[in-house]
């Protein structure tokens, strides 16, 4: 980006803040853009990925992100069959830090409050590794569509997707979550280099409007955090009003929280600390210590865009009024979808049970709780409270729909299972031209001998060649096809196709 396109009010403020560092900061706008991707740990490890198709990607590790790598622009990872198999997620390198600070542990209940389009949700899901529960939310319904698609693409089985105002979630999820990410809407100053439009939008989404929203989001999230839990608050902006000052004001109102410094391993990755002197009236004593445990990523000090993050831990001892609130919420009876009909009676799900018994090699129906709305059936993770009155976009993993007594498996089901979990597989190699033809939506010629057939979970009788087939690339699912008489009918969804 040309520095002359930067708003002068922005550069004047940065000059005043950074003083002798300002020249280096401005020089970073002449540097080339950086590109990052994160290997999807739900599907494979970085070592397994590197062993697969090394020559297509030139990857170098991002020091602060577990599975994160820089790639070269000419690698075009968005235009590769592995992208369609969800083997990685394309994400700006600095944006990978907040989830590293969240310290997600197996079986955690995690909320991603401002989640669309889902970069950090997919990272949290990988850290959960199929355990626990991930609740993701975004206030803008148009952005939630991308969020749903990204979670499906990387094969998440244990999430629910909401499209709600956080204040309407607070009583349902009171003291419920172990970890909460607030990747807050912000003035986006750290993204001016990457997205020139952000600089043009800056006046409109100004610092003042954003900081009022951030103030509310922090307090709403605090009400949904379990004792001993952690909130990570992050922005992609430089303004102290949205960063250090938000944290200082929050700690003033919430002395039961403390700021946790990054682990020694992360601290050595080129991160900078928050700046207490930028808090109006300058934070002093313990407030200054707290603010200096927050994190800044500066584009002139590391290979990434500008970000800020703070990990806020709630003390473990619950106040008497809060004790037990989370588990009381979890014990409420089953959910009702706003705008959807009541859950179907168990008998209506018979076609699904029949299908799963002959088409799958694992006990899908034991993974969670089946919920259905209209003809759509979802697998909801265990322990979700009653969602009455909340706008739910996905009450669980979408596994399929019921049409005239038949079960039709969803694309999300194909993406969420492993090759070893289907009875009928078309295993394509990444070098087979038919993989691109499949991704374009074409019918394929497939000899019966090319199918891998197995027996289902409930029997030792081999599956017949005719029927629903999981199409895979180098062992990873990309979608469904239906095989009959040497032809594979294409079931790859319209909106996902290779163009």
Ligand X SMILES: C[S@@+](CC[C@H](N)C(=O)[O-])C[C@H]1O[C@@H](n2cnc3c(N)ncnc32)[C@H](O)[C@@H]1O
347 annotated to a ligand binding site: no
The string of DSSP letters for 243-311 reads THHHHHHHHHH-TTEEEEPPPHHHHTTT-EE--GGGSTT---HHHHHHHTTSEEE-TTTSSS--EEEEE
- Binders of ligand X among residues 436 to 475 (CB under 6 A) are none
Convert residues 84-103 into a mask of x (bound to ligand X by CB under 6 A) and - (unbound): -----------x--------
Indicate whether 304 belongs to the interface with ligand X (CB under 6 A): no
Indicate whether 185 belongs to the interface with ligand X (CB under 6 A): yes
**Alpha helix (H) ranges present in 85-206?**
97-102, 119-128, 141-153, 196-201
- Annotated catalytic residue, options 44, 236, 310, 415: 236
115 annotated to a ligand binding site: yes
Indicate whether 68 belongs to the interface with ligand X (CB under 6 A): no
Question: Among the candidate windows 139-147, 259-267, 269-277, 401-409, which touches ligand X by CB under 6 A?
Answer: 139-147
Q: What is the 3-state secondary structure (H, E, C) of 57-99?
A: CCCEECCCCCCEEECCHHHCHHHCHHHHCCCEEECCHHHHHHH
Indicate whether 395 belongs to the interface with ligand X (CB under 6 A): no
Report the candidate in 197, 195, 189 with the shortest Cα–Cα distance to residue 235.
Answer: 189
φ, ψ of residue 234 in degrees (nearest 5): -140, 155
- Find where tokens 């199918």 sit: 451
- Binders of ligand X among residues 205 to 224 (CB under 6 A) are 213, 217
- Find where tokens 């002093």 sit: 284
Single residue of 140, 200, 353, 440 touching ligand X by CB under 6 A: 140
- 3-state secondary structure at position 431: coil
- Catalytic, 186? Answer no
Report the residue number, 140 or 489, with the smaller CB distance to ligand X. Answer: 140
Indicate whether 124 belongs to the interface with ligand X (CB under 6 A): no
Question: Among the candidate windows 34-42, 132-140, 308-316, 378-386, which touches ligand X by CB under 6 A?
Answer: 132-140
Convert residues 226-245 into a mask of x (bound to ligand X by CB under 6 A) and - (unbound): --------------------
Question: Among the candidate windows 135-143, 246-254, 356-364, 481-489, which touches ligand X by CB under 6 A?
Answer: 135-143
The one-character DSSP state at 375 is T
116 annotated to a ligand binding site: yes
Indicate whether 143 belongs to the interface with ligand X (CB under 6 A): yes
138 annotated to a ligand binding site: yes
Burial 263-283 (b: 16+ CB within 10 A, else e): eeebeebebeebbbebbeeeb
Report the candidate in 10, 44, 9, 41 with the shortest Cα–Cα distance to residue 25.
Answer: 10
Residues interacting with ligand X, by CB under 6 A? Answer: 95, 113-120, 137-140, 143, 166, 183, 185, 213, 217
Residue ranges for the known binding site are: 114-120, 138, 183
Q: Which residues are the active-site residues?
A: 236
């Amino acid at each position: 980006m040309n520095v002359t396109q930067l708003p002068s009010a922005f550069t004047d403020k940065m000059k005043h803040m950074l003083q002798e560092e300002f020249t280096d900061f401005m020089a970073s706008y002449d540097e080339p853009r950086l590109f990052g991707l994160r290997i999807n740990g739900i599907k494979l490890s970085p070592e397994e990925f590197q062993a697969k198709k090394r020559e297509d990607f030139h990857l170098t590790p991002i020091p602060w992100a577990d599975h994160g790598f820089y790639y070269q622009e000419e690698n075009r990872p968005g235009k590769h069959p592995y992208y369609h198999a969800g083997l990685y997620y394309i994400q700006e390198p600095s944006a990978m830090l907040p989830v590293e600070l969240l310290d997600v542990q197996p079986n955690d209940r995690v909320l991603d409050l401002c989640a669309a389009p889902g970069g950090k949700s997919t990272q949290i899901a990988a850290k959960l590794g199929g355990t626990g529960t991930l609740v993701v939310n975004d206030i803008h319904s148009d952005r939630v569509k991308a969020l749903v698609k990204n979670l499906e693409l990387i094969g998440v089985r244990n999430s629910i997707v909401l499209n709600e105002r956080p204040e309407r979630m607070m009583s349902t999820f009171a003291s419920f979550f172990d970890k909460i990410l607030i990747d807050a809407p912000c003035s986006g100053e750290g993204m001016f280099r990457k997205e020139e439009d952000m600089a043009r939008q800056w006046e409109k989404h100004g610092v003042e409007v954003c900081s009022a929203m951030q103030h509310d989001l922090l307090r709403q999230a605090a009400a949904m955090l379990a004792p001993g839990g952690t909130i990570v608050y992050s922005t992609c902006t430089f303004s102290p009003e949205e960063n250090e000052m938000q944290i200082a004001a929050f700690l003033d109102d919430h002395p039961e929280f403390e700021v946790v410094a990054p682990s020694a391993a992360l601290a050595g990755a080129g991160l900078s600390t928050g700046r207490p002197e930028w808090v109006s009236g300058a934070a002093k004593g313990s407030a200054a210590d707290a603010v200096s445990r927050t994190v800044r990523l500066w584009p002139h000090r590391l290979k990434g865009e500008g970000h800020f993050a703070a990990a806020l831990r709630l003390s473990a001892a619950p106040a008497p009024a809060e004790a037990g609130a989370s588990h009381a919420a979890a014990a409420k009876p089953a959910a009702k979808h706003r705008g959807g009909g009541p859950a179907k009676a168990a008998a209506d799900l018979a076609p699904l049970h029949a299908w799963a018994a002959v088409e799958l090699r694992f006990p899908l129906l034991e993974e969670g709780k089946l919920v259905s709305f209209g003809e759509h059936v979802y697998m909801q993770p265990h322990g979700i409270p009653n969602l009455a009155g909340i706008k739910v976009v996905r009450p669980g993993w979408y596994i399929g729909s019921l049409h005239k007594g038949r079960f039709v498996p969803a694309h999300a089901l194909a993406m969420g299972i492993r090759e070893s979990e289907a009875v009928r597989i078309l295993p394509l190699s990444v070098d087979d031209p038919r993989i691109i033809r499949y991704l374009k939506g074409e019918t394929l010629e497939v000899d019966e001998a090319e199918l891998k057939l197995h027996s289902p979970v409930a029997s030792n009788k081999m599956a017949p060649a005719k029927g629903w087939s999981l199409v895979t690339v180098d062992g990873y699912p990309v979608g469904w096809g239906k095989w009959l008489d040497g032809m594979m009918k294409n079931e790859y969804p319209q909106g996902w196709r290779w163009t």
